[in-house]
Amino acid sequence: MVKSWKLVPGVLALVVGAAIVGCNDSNDRNSDDEQTTQKRTSSPLTTSLFEPYVAYATGSTPEAVAIGDLDGDGRNDIALLTSTRNDPANDNMVHVFLQNPDGTLQPRVRYPVGRRGSSIDIGDVNGDGRADVVVGDENSTIGTRIGVLLQNATGTLDAIVAYPTTSAYRVKVADFNGDGRADIAGLGTALDIFLQTDTGTLAPPVTYRVDRLVQDVEALRGHLGLDRMDLFGHSELPRLPWRV
Ligand SMILES: [Ca+2]
Ligand SMILES: [Ca+2]
């Protein structure tokens, strides 16, 4: 099982089973196509629970990461979104790292998204059984959008298709109406839901007002005295992360 978290800007740490794997963009600034891997025997990240982490270079600033089985082999893979660092070969790209049977990651495959994004997720948003990649970016100047990169029959991602919307600082793929199909939500100053239709297309988004700012969702659940709370997301300000 793969889990991840972003530690500091430019560094991505990944946990694969009992191993910590890190991605540090500082390692291939001059070698766009050559993935560099390094094992570290001592690090502030290492605890007695984990093996030393491994760094996979991205060449540009990692902005967001999603974990999911992109190639359908039962192993979680990684889709990472970079923003900009004056590195045209790696800026504004989706970097896909497929997982090998031994738990290592294959050399990345990059897909351009055209502009700086802020979030990414994985899910089958057209119902063909293949996991797709969704990115989000919120830009008041050139327009907010979600971008969908569908996975084709060859296992690669098609060119990004953009869907203008009002909110996409964070995107999430999940079945929001219980029909068994993965939908897309964008959260920012509002909440936009794109439901997947029964033909595998996305319906026009429905916008929901977001006017409650919550930092600690679990504390809110306790405060309200609820046994369970179905939560989509929260944000103190548009630039802060949300929880799902
Ligand atoms: Ca996989
Ligand atoms: Ca699909």
Return the ligand number nearest the Cα of 122. 2
Q: Is the pLDDT of residue 43 over 70?
A: no
Structure tokens at 174: 């999940």
pLDDT of 16-28, one tens digit each?
443 333 444 333 3
The ligand with the least distance to the CA atom of 96 is 1
Residue at token pair 């093996």: 51
* Contact assessment for residue 3 and residue 67, using Cβ atoms and an 8 Å cutoff: yes
Cα(1) to centroid of ligand 2, in Å? 22
Helix (H) or strand (E) holding 143: none
Q: Which residues surround ligand 1, an ion (CB under 5 A)?
A: 69, 71, 73, 75, 77
The secondary structure of residue 202, as a DSSP letter, is B
Kindly give the distance from the C-alpha atom of residue 77 to the centroid of ligand 1, in angstroms, as a whole number. 5
Range scoring the smallest mean pLDDT among 58-62, 86-90, 234-238: 234-238
Ligand 1 centre and the CA of 68: distance in Å? 7
Residue 60 has pLDDT above 80, yes or no: yes
* Distance in Å, CA 236 to ligand 1 centroid: 34
In contact, 186 and 205? CB cutoff 8 Å: yes
Give residue 100 CA to ligand 1 midpoint distance, Å. 8
24: which strand partners? 11
Q: How far is the CA of 133 from the centre of ligand 2 (A)?
A: 9
Q: Which ligand is nearest to the CA of 157?
A: 2
Ligand number with the minimum distance to the CA of 150: 2
How far is residue 158's CA from residue 126's CA, in Å, rounded to a whole number?
13
The string of pLDDT tens digits covering residues 158-174 is 999 999 998 898 999 99
pLDDT digits (tens, 9 = 90+) for 102-133: 999 999 999 999 999 999 999 999 999 999 99
Ligand 1 mean position, distance from CA 87 (Å): 28
Cα 73 to ligand 1 centroid, rounded to whole Å: 5
Beta strands in 190-229 (DSSP E): 190-194, 206-209
Mean pLDDT of 42-58: 74
What does the buried/exposed string (b/e) look like for 59-88 if buried means 16 or more CB atoms within 10 Å of the residue's CB? bbbbbbbbbbebeeeebbbbbbbbbebebe
| pLDDT number for residue 90 | 96
Q: Is the pTM of this model over 0.75?
A: no
Ligand 2 centroid–CA 148 distance in Å is 10
Q: Whose atoms come closest to the Cα of 72: which ligand?
A: 1
CA of 152 to the centre of ligand 2 (A): 8
- pLDDT on residue 188: 84
First to last CA, the chain: 19
